[in-house]
Amino acid sequence: MPGGDDAKEQIRTRADLVEIVREHVRLRQVGGQFTGLCPFHTEKTPSFRVTPQTQTWHCFGCDRGGDIFTFVELIEKIDFRGALEMLAERTGVELVKEAPGTRERSQLRKRILELNRLAAQYYEYVLHSTEVGRPGLEILAKRGVSPETARRFQLGFAPPGGQSLQQFLSSRKHSLPDADQAGLVRRGRDFFKNRLIIPIRDERGQTVAFVGRDATGTDDRKYVNSPDTPAFSKSRVLFALDLAKEEIGRRGHAVLVEGQFDVIVAHQFGVANAIATSGTALTEEQVKLLKRFTEEVILAFDGDPAGKAAAYRAIETCSAAGLRTRVASLGEAKDPDEFLRAGGDWSLAAAAAPPEWEFWIRETIAGLNPTRPRDLQVGLEKVYGVLLKIAEPAVREAYRVKAAEWLGIDQRLMRRNGHPAPAQPGGLEPARPGKKLSVGQHILSVIAVRPEALDRVESSALPDDFNEEDRRTFGLMRQTLQAGGLDALRDRLGSFGEQEQDLIRRAWASPPPRTDDEFVAELTWRLRLESLQTRLGDVRRRLGEAEQRGDRDQVALLEMEDRRLAREVQAFKTRKDRERS
Q: Which residues would be at the binding site for Zn ion (CB under 5 A)?
A: 38, 40-41, 59, 61-62
Nearer to Zn ion, 12 or 41 (CB): 41
Q: What is the DSSP secondary-structure string of 105-136?
A: HHHHHHHHHHHHHHHHHHHHHHHHHSGGGHHH
How open is the CA angle 246-251-256, to the nearest 5 degrees?
Answer: 80
Nearer to Zn ion, 62 or 527 (CB): 62
Smallest gap from Cβ 523 to Zn ion, in A, equals 22
Smallest gap from Cβ 43 to Zn ion, in A, equals 7
Nearer to Zn ion, 61 or 355 (CB): 61
Smallest gap from Cβ 35 to Zn ion, in A, equals 12
Nearer to Zn ion, 71 or 339 (CB): 71
Q: Which of these, 467, 425, 465, 395, lies nearest to 573 by C-alpha position?
A: 425
Smallest gap from Cβ 469 to Zn ion, in A, equals 9
Smallest gap from Cβ 46 to Zn ion, in A, equals 10
H/E stretch holding 317 reads helix 305-320
Smallest gap from Cβ 63 to Zn ion, in A, equals 7
Smallest gap from Cβ 38 to Zn ion, in A, equals 3
Nearer to Zn ion, 14 or 436 (CB): 436
Nearer to Zn ion, 69 or 71 (CB): 71
Nearer to Zn ion, 59 or 520 (CB): 59
Coil, helix or strand at residue 357: helix
Please state whether beta strands 254-257 and 195-201 pair in parallel, antiparallel, or not at all (unpaired).
unpaired
The number of angstroms, rounded, from the C-alpha of 103 to the middle of its chain's C-alpha atoms is: 33
d(CA 481, CA 488): 7
Residues 340-379: b if buried by 16+ CB within 10 A, e if exposed: beeebebeebbeebbbbbbbbbbbbbeebebeeeeebeeb
Nearer to Zn ion, 58 or 389 (CB): 58
The torsion angles phi and psi of 207, rounded to 5 degrees, stand at -75, 115
Coil, helix or strand at residue 504: helix
Smallest gap from Cβ 39 to Zn ion, in A, equals 8
DSSP 215: S
Smallest gap from Cβ 471 to Zn ion, in A, equals 15
Smallest gap from Cβ 58 to Zn ion, in A, equals 9
The number of angstroms, rounded, from the C-alpha of 204 to the middle of its chain's C-alpha atoms is: 19
How open is the CA angle 490-446-58, to the nearest 5 degrees?
Answer: 105
Nearer to Zn ion, 45 or 371 (CB): 45
Nearer to Zn ion, 45 or 369 (CB): 45
d(CA 75, CA 24): 8
User: Torsion angle of alpha carbons 322, 502, 300, 318, nearest 10°?
Assistant: 0
Nearer to Zn ion, 364 or 467 (CB): 467
Smallest gap from Cβ 66 to Zn ion, in A, equals 12
Residue 182 burial class via C-beta count within 10 angstroms: exposed 0-12, middle 13-18, buried 19 and up: buried
Nearer to Zn ion, 62 or 558 (CB): 62
Q: Any bridge partners for residue 195, and if so which?
A: 158, 214
Amino acid at 239: F
Smallest gap from Cβ 48 to Zn ion, in A, equals 6
User: Torsion angle of alpha carbons 203, 204, 206, 212, nearest 10°?
Assistant: 20
The torsion angles phi and psi of 334, rounded to 5 degrees, stand at -85, -25
- What is the 3-class SS of 253-308, one letter each residue? CEEEECCHHHHHHHHHCCCCCEEECCCCCCCHHHHHHHHCCCCEEEEECCCCHHHH
